[in-house]
Structure 1
Amino acid sequence: MDTTEEINGTYYYHGHINVTPGELFDLIFIEQLANALGMTTEAVSMILIGQPYIPVSGKLSAATNTPGTSVASIVSRKLLGDARFPFGLRPSAPMGKLSKLKMVPTNKIATFIGRWIPFAGYAELIITVQLVAKRTREKYNLIARPSDRIPWTYF
């Protein structure tokens, strides 16, 4: 038998016999997700190092802002020091909890990078999930019978 065949109305896929169309889709999704894990570990790392887990004493307005600081913020400040954007440029960066997120301008490069790192991780994670869903649908439609195929969807 080949790695993908149809047997008595069910499928055979990579050693799994009597696989229903739903199970086939699940197996392909797991396979595609496993192929993409290299990106998701980077995304999760960026999200985690951007979280304010490290307590900070004497932080102004701790009631409205995040209570601590992140590894990304500490490392970017150590690497970049007091480097500032030229020409008085003050780009905005997200600040606060997700429920009370606000955009705050800053002229320090390290602060700007430290605040954007977790959001770059969120974006990468969303893109990875979208790609996995798209590749799963494409591969499933190549293998499945025409009656079992998924029509065009948003993923």
Structure 2
Amino acid sequence: MDTVEELNGTYFYAGKSNLSAAELLFMIFCENTASQFGKGVADFGAVVALVSGRNNLWTRAKPINATKGTSYASKVARAVFKKTKFPFGISLPTWLGGYTPWTAKCIMVRNIAPFAGRSIPLIGELILATDVSTITYRTIRDYNIIARSSDKIW
């Protein structure tokens, strides 16, 4: 953070003067976003995981109600694990049908390949959701430290 002052009912932050409360919040948000995504590899990996999970590759004919296409993650997982099953007949949950909880449905699988191929995008979603919640928390925390009591959030 840079020098912070209050001048005539406006704020001075990061070299910018005459900032309103909303502009101050936006500046703090941008600063926290840049610092969070500046950490590198985890965020890049999350984006790669999400993109690799998109089912935009053509595949064989499927039943009528099946999701069309397949993903890069699924193709690679099937190439690596082939038809290998979990030991002891264990079935694990995996998600089908979309990136939102409203369009996804949970099914149990015994093969490692579909479990791994469908779990990779979920890991990316979890990393990005963690980033968003961290940015939001830090932004509100930093803003409330700086802002006048009448401008504070919560």
* TM-score normalised according to structure 2 size: 0.85
What is residue 31 of structure 1 aligned with on the other side?
31
What is residue 77 of structure 2 aligned with on the other side?
76
Alignment map for 1:128-143 (pairs within 5 Å): 128-143=131-146
| 2-structure distance, mates of 1:150, 1:96 | 37
Aligned partner letter, 1:94: W
Q: 1:18 to 1:44 in 2, by over 3 A?
A: same
What is residue 7 of structure 2 aligned with on the other side?
7
Task: Indicate if the aligned counterparts of 1:65 and 1:95 stay in contact, CA closer than 8 A.
Answer: no
Structure 2: gaps of 5 or more residues: none
Say whether residues 1:17 and 2:20 are aligned partners: no
Q: Percent identity?
A: 37
> Structure 1, residues 59-82: CA drift from partner, whole Å, max 9, x if none?
x31x31221111111112222233
Q: How many residue pairs end up in the alignment? A: 148
RMSD, aligned CA: 1.8
Relative to structure 2, which stretch is displaced further, 138-147 or 31-40?
Answer: 31-40
Relative to structure 2, which stretch is displaced further, 39-48 or 68-77?
Answer: 39-48
Aligned partner letter, 1:65: A
Task: Indicate if the aligned counterparts of 1:50 and 1:70 stay in contact, CA closer than 8 A.
Answer: yes
| 2-structure distance, mates of 1:144, 1:101 | 41
Say whether residues 1:127 and 2:130 are aligned partners: yes
Say whether residues 1:149 and 2:148 are aligned partners: no
What is residue 92 of structure 2 aligned with on the other side?
91
Structure 1: gaps of 5 or more residues: none
Relative to structure 2, which stretch is displaced further, 84-93 or 74-83?
Answer: 74-83
| 2-structure distance, mates of 1:95, 1:130 | 25
> Structure 1, residues 75-132: CA drift from partner, whole Å, max 9, x if none?
1222223321001111121122456532222211121011122222222222221111
